[in-house]
Structure 1
Amino acid sequence: MYLPAVGSPADSGGTRPGTVEIRSSRPRAMTQNPSSPSLLRLAGLPYFLIAFVARLPFAMMVVGVLTIVVTARGSLSMGGLTSAAVGIGTALIGPFLGAAADRYGQRPVLAAAAVLNSAMLGIFALVVYSTMSEAFVMLTAFAIGATAPQVSPMSRSRLVTIIDDRMPEPQRPRTTSATMSYESAADEMVFVFGPFLVGALATLISPWAPIALASALTLLFVGAFALHPTGRHVSASRRADGTAPSRASELFWPVLLVVVVGIFGVGLFFGATLTALTSFMADRDAAEQAGLLYGVMGIGSAILALGVAWLPVRFTLHARWLLFAAILVGGSVLVISASTIPAMLVALAILGVGVGPTLVTLYSLGAARSPLGRSATVMSMLGAGVVVGQAAAAAITGELAERAGTGPALLMPLIASAIVLAAAVVNRLLTPMQR
């Protein structure tokens, strides 16, 4: 049995008597050559391009499903429920795909998911335009989410493996932080561009066009991501020292679960903010512009997420979580008080400062606390936490806005931010207990 580390050497101040540091799921390189190659050189530029495009279909799925259902079936309510079914499928099955990747390697899991998900997207389009019942439409949407390839968690796990295996010890903490910054920024950019692409294709061609494109991109780019040489590296090196993975029960350590709770709060924040903002703009007869305002937060969040890599190592992951969660709470207070669009834009810009670095910090903590041989599982758990939180908050906030109005709906981002901050406090309290 070993105790989880607290993020990086900066978190614990180095090894202390009585403290056992968590081991990676990969054998660690012992070389200390300061002229070792960068991660970009080790993975290769094509890897980052493929991984970026491969996560685009997932960002298109939920909005694409909503668009095609509303158009073909003429029901906004059904469209929302169908989109939620996609999220539920991803949240329930995603962690099991991560566990399968930890056990059998990423290549077979991703290749199978790419084929199945591409097929399910095509089947869904046929089902929606047919006379089949709403229940069958919902079931097919659930299957889309259940087979969705976990590109983002797999990419994080794959890159952390390369860092641990092929980079000197002194470079690992900062390189890991920079990697998580890039990955989070890539997710932010994809989730800003994905819905925009869906809207453009649906308007210029047809509502089925985004689903068709997502199907093609899944088959081609997720397939390429699965077959990339880095996938073979992960599968080959994962048990190179003959070490068996940790017990599944270690996934339920309090210091890991508190990170899952924190990222669930971030998912709640995303869903609540977008839905409340839509209600805010609908009161001004401009609901269609809600996505543009939301983009202010998304773009700022992506830029700040990249900036986390430049923060000093002395600024520990615990301190970052506390600080940026507090900024998130402050920005949410401004959202409640905003009565004009310029005031709302200021509040959203401040929220972008808080949410991007918070997401990077949580993924960095998750990577550091992953039990031996369970990194893909942990990353999938974190990804599922965001999806579940986003779907739940969107449903709750939408119902609240419809029944009670925009004012109460604007309270939801503050509640979500408070959950993130409370988890940060609990995380800080848990840490001394393991020393």
Structure 2
Amino acid sequence: MPQATVTDSDKGRGERPGYGQLLRTRGAWTFLLPGFAARQPFAMLTISIVLLVQHTTGSYGTAGAVSATTGVSMALFAPYSGKLADRFGQRAVLLPGVLVHSAAGLTLTVLALSGAPTWTLFLAAVPTGASTPQIGPMVRARWGVKLQGSPLMQTAAAFESVTDEFTFVLGPLFATALCTGVDPAAGLITEAALTLVGGLLFAAQKGTQPPVRTVEEHARVEHVSALRVPGVRVLIVTFLGIGAVFGGMQVSLAAYSEAIGRPGLNGVLYGIFAAGNMLSGLVCGAIAWKIAPQRRLLIGYTALAVTASGLWAAQSVVVLAGLGLLVGVCIAPSLITGYTLVEKIVPATSRTEAFTWLTGAVALGQAAAVTVAGQLEDGFWDGAGFLVPMGGTVLALVVMFLLRSRLVPPSAGRTVARGVGHRVPVAVD
């Protein structure tokens, strides 16, 4: 297929789209700082529930099941939150959302500490997960407004991927320190407090949120669900595979470290994996790509599947650390390119919904991977859980390869969906 001749670098008049230029975007810090605080709870929630419930029930199985319930609820309800934010505005969704989430999280804490029946923990886990604020997708949507048609969108996607990865490194460490060093309930209480304070501060930044249409405008415009865009469905499968890597690595690295009698090594190995992700994200965002995004995704995801497929065969700490680093290096480009494609194939009125579908897919893939990897570790050999990242990425790669044509952005002058307000068409890279 012939490629468009205009590249991101061409559109940027030869300027390199660096992070310094991105962070100098007027008004960016007004939503970045509260957004960073508000997105920390997303990474603290799962581990905080596991540590609290395990402490009060003495069962890792129960703790994992309650935590998985939260993750599944989050994955199922997040897209609807994004759809409502696209239609009625982020503030209208965030204000009640953070209140419900904080109340549900504190309710779960009280139930666990009071020795309430196990079924009540599952009951409280559902609204706790379902109301988790989707700050990351909302920040991405605000970048879309700020950088409409700018070559810095690729840099913004990379910056957000690195921020997400930093969150998933810092959040669990912070929650673990609170639960083990202060009180088993401290992690979940802090998570609820950060959600409330950070979410309210983020919602207060009305000037940077995507514009909200009036009732009359809604009546005139055909609103298309992000799921009706074929490429979004392919990306959901892609991100499920990425979630399988995160979940499978968490369980399998912990089990491996325990099996060799060095449990403290778990944090080091996972840190190496996360470091590879962060570093490659920084590099990926600093490059003015001339390769079409759908081709970049296919190439990058192939590398991810290949490296993830070698994890189960690692026989030494050094080899496992090296493979973990390579897997991390391959994840960030796939995440960044996936989010970049959303900007190109999804109408502006459905973009937050699309971002939340992808975020929810990662959460769902992670929840499923944690469960399956745990069963494999218990029922088979040490390291069997590493089959989960391999299986998830290989299956997703097959789907992506077969349906790769659906990831091709519309040509200049074409519209994504009839009747939806679009940006001025530009040639793609």
TM-score, normalization: structure 1?
0.85
**Preserved contact between residue 324 and residue 353 of structure 1 (Cα < 8 Å):** no
Q: 1:11 to 1:368 in 2, by over 3 A?
A: farther
Give the aligned partner of residue 72 of structure 1.
56
**Cα separation, 1, equivalents of 2:396 and 2:311:** 17
**Preserved contact between residue 262 and residue 420 of structure 1 (Cα < 8 Å):** yes
1:228 correspondence with 2:212: no
Give the aligned partner of residue 177 of structure 1.
154
Give the aligned partner of residue 217 of structure 1.
194
**Preserved contact between residue 301 and residue 397 of structure 2 (Cα < 8 Å):** yes
Give the aligned partner of residue 122 of structure 2.
138
1:421 Cα deviation after fit: 2.5
**Cα separation, 2, equivalents of 1:252 and 1:279:** 40
**Preserved contact between residue 251 and residue 371 of structure 1 (Cα < 8 Å):** no
**Cα separation, 2, equivalents of 1:137 and 1:408:** 30
1:112 correspondence with 2:116: no
Give the aligned partner of residue 324 of structure 2.
348
Q: Where do residues 15-164 of structure 1 align in structure 2 (5 Å cutoff)? A: 40-164=24-148
Say which of 341, 357, 379 aligns to 2:355.
379
Give the aligned partner of residue 277 of structure 1.
253
1:85 Cα deviation after fit: 1.0
Give the aligned partner of residue 232 of structure 2.
256
Q: 1:218 to 1:431 in 2, by over 3 A?
A: closer
1:239 Cα deviation after fit: 6.3
Q: Tell me which amino acid in the other structure corresponds to 1:235.
A: P
Q: 1:163 to 1:427 in 2, by over 3 A?
A: farther
1:296 correspondence with 2:272: yes
Give the aligned partner of residue 189 of structure 1.
166
Q: Tell me which amino acid in the other structure corresponds to 1:200.
A: A
Give the aligned partner of residue 425 of structure 2.
none
**Preserved contact between residue 78 and residue 360 of structure 2 (Cα < 8 Å):** yes
Q: Residues 110-144 of structure 1, C-alpha deviation per residue, up to 9 Å, x if partnerless?
A: 11111111111211111111132111111111111
**Preserved contact between residue 106 and residue 235 of structure 1 (Cα < 8 Å):** no
**Cα separation, 1, equivalents of 2:170 and 2:267:** 11
**Cα separation, 2, equivalents of 1:290 and 1:99:** 38
**Preserved contact between residue 307 and residue 327 of structure 2 (Cα < 8 Å):** yes
Q: Where do residues 295-334 of structure 1 align in structure 2 (5 Å cutoff)? A: 295-334=271-310
**Preserved contact between residue 59 and residue 191 of structure 1 (Cα < 8 Å):** yes
Say which of 380, 391, 408 aligns to 1:415.
391
**Cα separation, 2, equivalents of 1:279 and 1:109:** 39
1:404 Cα deviation after fit: 1.3
Q: 1:38 to 1:305 in 2, by over 3 A?
A: closer
**Preserved contact between residue 325 and residue 424 of structure 1 (Cα < 8 Å):** no
Q: Tell me which amino acid in the other structure corresponds to 1:294.
A: Y
1:101 Cα deviation after fit: 0.6
| Unpaired stretches in structure 1, ≥5 consecutive residues | 1-5, 16-31
1:290 Cα deviation after fit: 1.8
Q: Where do residues 348-367 of structure 1 align in structure 2 (5 Å cutoff)? A: 348-367=324-343
Identical counterparts, % of pairs: 26
Q: 1:249 to 1:101 in 2, by over 3 A?
A: closer
Q: Which moved more, 1:257-266 or 1:311-320?
A: 311-320
Q: Tell me which amino acid in the other structure corresponds to 1:400.
A: L
Moved over 6 A (4+): 432-435
Q: 1:346 to 1:247 in 2, by over 3 A?
A: same
Q: Tell me which amino acid in the other structure corresponds to 2:132.
A: A
Q: 1:373 to 1:239 in 2, by over 3 A?
A: farther
**Cα separation, 2, equivalents of 1:108 and 1:42:** 24
1:335 correspondence with 2:319: no
Give the aligned partner of residue 426 of structure 2.
none
Q: 1:241 to 1:343 in 2, by over 3 A?
A: farther
**Cα separation, 1, equivalents of 2:281 and 2:216:** 35
**Cα separation, 2, equivalents of 1:269 and 1:12:** 34
